[in-house]
Each structure stands twice: as C-alpha cells, then as structure tokens.
Amino acid sequence: MTVALDHRPTAGGLPVPFACEDDGGALDHAHVVKRRAIRCALSRICGICGETLSRPIAFFGPESEGDAGLFTFPPVHLPCANAALDLFVPIGGSHLGQVEAPLRWTLVTTGGFDLIRPTRRGDGVTFRPNSVIETRSVE
C-alpha cells in the first residue's frame, strides 16, 4: 500500500519527499538528505512516501543520470514516482532533490539496485539500478 505524497509535510505549499526531510524535520525540496538516502537503501524504504518498498522499484532523475545509470534520488515505489513526476515536472524549479529542474527526466523500473558510496568524503551516495525492466523519458 502506497500513500504517495498525500501524507507528506509541505513546504511552500508542496509536499516534500521523505528523502528531502532531515531527521530534525527540516524540509528542502532541492536536496536529498544523505542519511535518508542511505536509510532508504539499507531499510528498503521509498524515498517519496517512507513506506516499505515493493517491486518494481523505480528511480527517477535528470536524463543525464538516466544515461549514466546512476541516480541521486533514492529508490521509490512506481506509483510514488509517477505521482511525484506528475506533480513536479510541470512546475519546474528546485524539486525532487534537484537544484535545477532538468529539461527531461528519466524514469527507470528495476528489480534491484546497488548503493554506491562516494569516493570522496562529504559527497552524496548514488544508486545504480542493476536489473532494469523499463526506461522511460518524461518531459
């Protein structure tokens, strides 16, 4: 059962994903909180709604992340990804862990993923889908 964005706290009138809230409750649409991203990976929870992940697992990000096969935003439910992209892509601006709105987004569904830890201290983690089912472009 997914709750998508309906039960998330809001900032600027818009729901803030689980991955963009720090443990102190600070909300920032433009940045993924590293600790939350790691928690999503290790505890298998959705970066949008914070509930347990189910398959297929979805990732979204700018087209450049899709091309590289490496995503900044942690794994999410597919319905949560669709709800988030439906809401935020038309708005543009700094949302979904992106400082600048991408021109084009990529949505990937996968059976699994690897958590990639940064090589430099202080950098964020990234995620690599490892059993891609489908890749879709979203504008």
Binding site for Zn ion (CB under 5 A): 2, 46, 48-49, 77, 80
| Run of H or E residues at 135 | strand 132-138
Residue 82 CB, nearest approach to Zn ion (Å): 10
Residue 18 CB, nearest approach to Zn ion (Å): 8
Give the nearer residue to Zn ion in terms of CB position, either 57 or 120. Answer: 57
- Please give the residue whose beta carbon sits closest to Zn ion in the complex: 46
User: In sequence order, what are the residues at sequence separation of 6 or more whose Cβ sits closer than 8 angstroms to the Cβ of residue 123?
Assistant: none
Give yes or no for a contact between 51 and 77, defined as CB atoms under 8 angstroms apart: yes
User: In sequence order, what are the residues at sequence separation of 6 or more whose Cβ sits closer than 8 angstroms to the Cβ of residue 95?
Assistant: 14, 29, 30, 88, 101
Give the nearer residue to Zn ion in terms of CB position, either 2 or 126. Answer: 2
Both structure tokens of 14 = 């818009």
Give the nearer residue to Zn ion in terms of CB position, either 78 or 98. Answer: 78
Give the nearer residue to Zn ion in terms of CB position, either 2 or 98. Answer: 2
Alpha-carbon gap, residue 92 to 95, rounded angstroms: 7
Residue 6 CB, nearest approach to Zn ion (Å): 11
Residue 57 CB, nearest approach to Zn ion (Å): 10
Alpha-carbon gap, residue 62 to 82, rounded angstroms: 15
